[in-house]
Amino acid sequence: VATGAEPAHAATSITINGSSAGRTFDGVGAISGGGGNSRLLIDYPEPQRSQILDYLFRPGYGASLQILKAEIGGDTNSTSGAEPSHEHTRTDLNCNRGYEWWLMEQAKQRNPNIKLYGLAWGAPGWIGNGNFWSTDMINYLVSWLGCAKQHGLTIDYLGGWNERGYNISWYEQLRSTLNADGYSGVKIVAADSDWSVANDIDANQAFASSVDIIGTHYPCGYRSAQTDCSVPSAATSSGKPLWASENGSDDYNAGAPAMARGINRGYIDGKMTAYINWPVVAAITPNLPYPTMGLALAAQPWSGSYAIGKNTWVMAQTSQFTAPGWQYLDSSSGYIGGNRNNGSYVSLKSTDKTDYSTVIETMDASGAQTLNFNVTGGLSTGTVHVWSTNVNSSNPADYLAHTADITPSGGSFSLTVQPGRVYTLTTTTGQGKGTAAGPASKSMSLPYSDDFDGYTTGAEAKYLMDWQGAFEVAACGGGRSGKCVRQMSPQAPITWDPLTDPHALLGDLSWSNYTVSSDVLLEKSGYAELLGRANGQSYSGAAGLNAYHLRVSDTGAWSILSSNTGGTVSTLAHGTTAALGTNRWHSLSLAFSGSTITASIDGATVGSANDYTYAGGQVGYATSQGETAQFDNLSITPGP
């Protein structure tokens, strides 16, 4: 007797079959690197720093990442900054530089089962006389693995050169060297580029046996254009695990729909068994490229303010309900009613083979849909817990919400799914959602100063973000005691992005009228610069920066320069003072008052300029290429 209204939608039957075949799930995770995007996280105050780390890594709390891919620093720009090398020169080795070791340790402390993956974007120029595909580079990776060992970190996966294709014999040599050096357990990913590597893997047995995993970037399309995740037949027929070894590049909130589609559809369309988001966290100032990309926003260490994005909760809908080693159930994965627009579902069973989780996304659905499930094949027919994230909601209560517990009857149950959601149905427990929240944002206050004496050698000075080169704490030269910041790259690097002069930025975009001063020492012929009112930074083409510069050379030549994102550098004033020479300390200052810019060297005003192109921005240090200049006693005072 049909008395009620007609259902507005058709019902779809889905069998969750524990005896289905399917590939082994390798995990969902994110990338710290490629690069610089995590920079400010380490400078956060407690307790906010631990809270953010919990939201990223702690099981049952937030994104609960299953894979952390970290950049192997190369002293060169790799998108939003430069990450430091463990070997600036052929004779150098320091296993404590930068923040990736720290981040991997923090991740492992929270989740000992997290998988670690190393990849280089660029490298110091001494390697292979500038040739990445060299024995030097292989040895460089082996020493990086040795550093990891010193940190108690086991690296699970290692790649070649980010998005720069592959060299077959280099990969073969990498495999044999790793085996010979005690790293036979490290799996090699090729080629963190496109699928073309699959043709060579299929055609060349020696190459095939050197590669464990085929990892491809943006295999469903770039950013929100992600649609079809199908892969070439050469990839599938290789028999290798296939990974979306980089995906994302989206805002920490707005990227959620693309991530929801991509995690499921990567498996359904292309049998990809890992989804790795770029990047893990947006811990850079807003003038840098990709300032809000990641799972969370953490751009203000001086205020402690942070925000956890919808990307975190979409990732949690898979990560909190599965583990690497679980098995996909192919016959229980697909598109609802066979129609991509209705949404998709993937099912996985646990390694104990009775628990299961089914992740459903309805990003493109236009209405409610009823799904009738039937559980078979030896899977648990116990209580089904339902969790969901509404990616269209701005209310955090709608993210990773535990919405229902269903008792199946005879292995059957139904669920009505709304559009724009991710649902996970699971027989597992232990999921959860952190409640910590950070303070309000605020600008960084002036005055600010740093004598750099409080750091260990090799550390990065607080808030100082490298764009190119490597600015790190070192013992001062020139007869001065204590610590200084030194630009450590003595030659042009093997680049990933366009080569620029080394520079590093610090501070708040809202700073307008101020004086920045610092001591500087040139170790060799060349120049060093103080930057002020630095704001927009371009990463493509000329990789230019909107900023004013006071440039001084060992010869005594000085200039006030204005640069822009298009890469144009204009001279506003210039002159010559007494030679600065090398290995001698000098003091520089650059003052901004409205349109007046005043430059001083060793306490004497050398020149000024009238320009108001830039009304405000950060301070910074820069050097000529390869100039290992030193800086000390940074001071920023409000007003001229």
Looking at 83, 100, 246, 472, which residue is catalytic?
Answer: 246
Closest to ligand 147 by CB, 191 vs 379, is 191
76 forms part of the interface with ligand 147 (CB under 6 A): no
Q: Residues 75, 83, 200, 246: which binds ligand 147 (CB under 6 A)? A: 246
472 is catalytic: no
222 forms part of the interface with ligand 147 (CB under 6 A): yes
Tokens of 442: 């605020």
Q: Tell me how far apart the alpha carbons of residues 167 and 177 are, in angstroms, rounded to a whole number.
A: 15
Helical packing angle, 100-110 and 135-150, nearest 10°:
50
State whether the Cα torsion 486-490-494-499 is positive or negative. positive
Is residue 624 a contact partner of residue 526, using CB atoms and an 8 Å limit? Answer: yes
Q: Residues 18, 22, 34, 219: which binds ligand 147 (CB under 6 A)? A: 34
Closest to ligand 147 by CB, 321 vs 496, is 496
219 forms part of the interface with ligand 147 (CB under 6 A): no
249 forms part of the interface with ligand 147 (CB under 6 A): yes
- Site size toward ligand 147, by CB under 6 A: 12
CB of 569 to ligand 147, least distance (A): 25
Closest to ligand 147 by CB, 31 vs 400, is 31
Closest CA to 118 of 92, 151, 80, 88: 151
Q: Which of residues 144-183 bind ligand 147 (CB under 6 A)?
A: 162-163
358 forms part of the interface with ligand 147 (CB under 6 A): no
CB of 165 to ligand 147, least distance (A): 13
529 is catalytic: no
Closest to ligand 147 by CB, 249 vs 633, is 249
Q: Tell me how far apart the alpha carbons of residues 304 and 130 are, in angstroms, rounded to a whole number.
A: 40
Q: What is the 3-state secondary structure (H, E, C) of 230-265?
A: CCCHHHHHCCCCEEEEEEECCECCCCHHHHHHHHHH
By CB neighbour count within 10 A (0-12 exposed, 13-18 middle, 19+ buried), where does 185 fall? exposed
Binding piece for ligand 147, criterion CB under 6 A, among 13-21, 56-64, 217-225, 330-338: 217-225
| Residue 254 CB neighbours (<10 A) | 16
291 forms part of the interface with ligand 147 (CB under 6 A): no
Per-position b or e across 473-485, b if 16+ CB within 10 A of its CB: bbebbbeeeebbb
CB of 497 to ligand 147, least distance (A): 8
The half-sphere exposure of 62 on its side-chain side, counting CA atoms within 13 A, is: 27
Binding piece for ligand 147, criterion CB under 6 A, among 38-46, 215-223, 346-354, 461-469: 215-223
What is the chain's length? 640
Closest to ligand 147 by CB, 119 vs 316, is 119
Is residue 496 a contact partner of residue 36, using CB atoms and an 8 Å limit? Answer: no
Closest to ligand 147 by CB, 248 vs 544, is 248
CB of 278 to ligand 147, least distance (A): 5
Helical packing angle, 100-110 and 48-57, nearest 10°:
70
Q: Residues 12, 48, 77, 79: which binds ligand 147 (CB under 6 A)? A: 79
State whether the Cα torsion 42-43-49-50 is positive or negative. positive
Cβ neighbors of 529 (< 8 A, separation 6 or more) are 503, 549, 550, 551, 552, 561, 620, 621, 622, 623
Tokens of 515: 């004086």
CB of 539 to ligand 147, least distance (A): 8
Closest to ligand 147 by CB, 249 vs 562, is 249
Binding piece for ligand 147, criterion CB under 6 A, among 43-51, 143-151, 216-224, 372-380: 216-224
Q: Which of residues 376-435 bind ligand 147 (CB under 6 A)?
A: none
217 forms part of the interface with ligand 147 (CB under 6 A): yes
Residue nearest ligand 147 (C-beta atom): 34
Tokens of 380: 């648990």
Binding residues vs ligand 147 (CB under 6 A) = 34, 78-79, 162-163, 217-218, 222, 246, 249, 278, 290
Q: Report the catalytic residues.
A: 163, 246
